[in-house]
Structure 1
Amino acid sequence: MLRELFFNFCLLISVHYVLRFTFRSWPTSRSGPAHVARLAAFAAATLLLLLFPAQPTPGIVLDARAVPVAFVTLQFGPLPGLLVALPALAYRIWLGGAGVYAAVPSLLAVIGVTALLRRRIPAVGPLFWPHWPSLILMFGANGLPLLLLPGGTELFLEAYPLLLITNVLGALIAWGILGERFHVLRLTSHWQAAALTDPLTGLSNRRQFDLDLTAMGPGDALLLVDVDHFKRVNDTFGHQVGDEVLQEVAQVLQREGRGRDRAYRYGGEEFAVILRDVKADGLRHVAERLRVAVATATGHTAAGSVTVSVGGVAWMAVSTTQLTQRADEALYSAKTGGRNQTCLWQPPPPARRA
């Protein structure tokens, strides 16, 4: 029995090493096809562990199937945990034997206890191991129903300690593998956010803007927003006040934009906004609303109310460089036309024939 249980233990660690690759980003998705595929992978792992059990007596099988079930319950909740356990429960019932009357309530008890402990212990991570007493509670009920079987006391004393040690130690190692994966994904997400975020305003930076620009399509539009007389603000009130003005303008563009739009720190005192699914006749309305909102919101700054000039262009089938250039041309028209206004790019009139 020890040899088979050790093999099952090694199999548990191996499958969790593979399962770590089902987590590809942070935060972890909890819906959609990727989440369904992940739960299916954990269900397959649970079933695989049941296929290679230890058998102390005919009809009684011992394995670590409760570990992946408990992990899913801890990470995603009792209902996903139950869904992951269902294939193993169905297969165990199909196998039959006296042990089925202990196996089914044992796995359900693990799900129930883990669900109760979810709010009292932290999420699985690299430093989860100090919470090993909680694992004893999680897996303590796994195997207790053996006492209800004929000759259960002797069977319990023989099998239960080994099963509990296998589950607790296996969970510490297997969940440690997953926890390290979460830690790496967290750091990667943080570094990516830092690389694509402007530190002063908190908006996406030019690098993110260039990436999102390539994803524009029909119905989208681009706005370039420039703070009027910003050099005068810095020269008169100092760069700290200038930074406050930029932060306030950024907050306005982020707050006043529609949920599907995105604002960027384009460079210096210039911002960009990519509008998604905006009608051609509504582009000017959106741009004007942002322009007015900036003038209203910046009134409380030390520099007083500042204004912005806005240049806009609706998406068209040209290169991203041409699209940005046309928005910049519209912005230049707004600046040279007196500032504090919105100009939209218009194609030049066709040349007259002589």
Structure 2
Amino acid sequence: MTAPRPTAERAAVVVTGMSVTTAFGRGTDRLRAALAAGQPAFTDVTRFDVGRRRAKRAAHLPGSPVLLDELGDLLTQAIAQAGLDAAAVGQTPLLCARHSDPSWPRRPQESRADGHAAATGSALAARAGLRDARRTYTNACVAASTALADAAALIASGREERVAVAAGYLVDEDVFALFDAGRALADDGALRSFSAGRRGLLLGDGMAAVILESAAAAERRGAEPLARLLGWGRAGDAHHVCQPHPEGLGMARALTAALARADRAPEQVDYLNAHGTGTSYNDSAEAAAVHLAFGAHAPKLPVSSTKSLTGHTLEASGLVEFAVSVLVLQEGLLPVNAGYTGQDPACRLDLVTEGPRRLKPATVVSLNAAFGGANTALVLGAA
């Protein structure tokens, strides 16, 4: 696939603060340890009754956490890690991604005013002392990655010095029932990305917050970057309402655009954090996209889907997996593609299957796709 020409000179974008929570526990260190251990977080669902469901498992925290409270804590932690003072926080906008609240349409009309998705961003911004909530994204599994790309574009173009991005999804009964009825959930209790015999996805709790800023701004205040966001790409294929193009055309275009923006050749990429939902349609199409975008480098490119560990965190997946990619750059450990039972001829990739793989990468890519044919790719570099 022919790459578009790199963009003109622009401000470099770095990550200076990050916090993430998954079913493995609250805080980035819990995810860091879980990636090193390589054991999935799936357990029997206890948050609601699944007695009449085909699938019985998900990756969720105990109890009934409140999304706004969890995201507020994560934003506070990311801001603290970035070392921002109150004045800098007050000049920083927030971009937020989340799943819609299934209880909102059922509430009395008079109580709905503050319950819609956009209100989450405004409430989070107010709690954290941020300037405002510019946008709230609900565009399915590319919501958070789209927010990251928009944040990076705002910074790279000089329109903002820094941007906070937060995203969250908590496993809920409505989505679980919908996916189960559509036979999208794995009834064998494992998410087996790219594997022969894979039976579908499993849901997972996922929440994260990051601070992105220009490298120049970070340097002026002496902040130590965690990683660099080198490039981003977005593309649509509009092939089907809930199936990707079988040749992975949209995903390949997003990958190619991101690499061009990052000024990286395919062979310079050391690891791909794949979308890898464990469904038959996605995984084969994604494998085709990898071969289309990476060409001769595709068979040598290490690939894994950390959804096989954390579950699919829907609108938050782009930010959770962005955090995973930052940790891969920091730790030099490629996460395992868990639940693997053997090669599917349609998914010929260098999958990380025998436990985490030791490798010190300089450049990694995170790929996401969504219903309706929306696709995003993010290219990250070591700090």
Greater CA radius of gyration, 1 or 2?
1
- TM exceeding 0.5: no
More relative contact order in 1 or in 2 (CA 8 Å, sep 6+)?
Answer: 2
The TM-score bracket by the shorter chain reads under 0.3
TM-score (norm 1): 0.25
Instruction: Compute the TM-score of the two structures, normalised by the length of structure 2.
Output: 0.23
Structure in which a larger fraction of residues adopt helix: 1
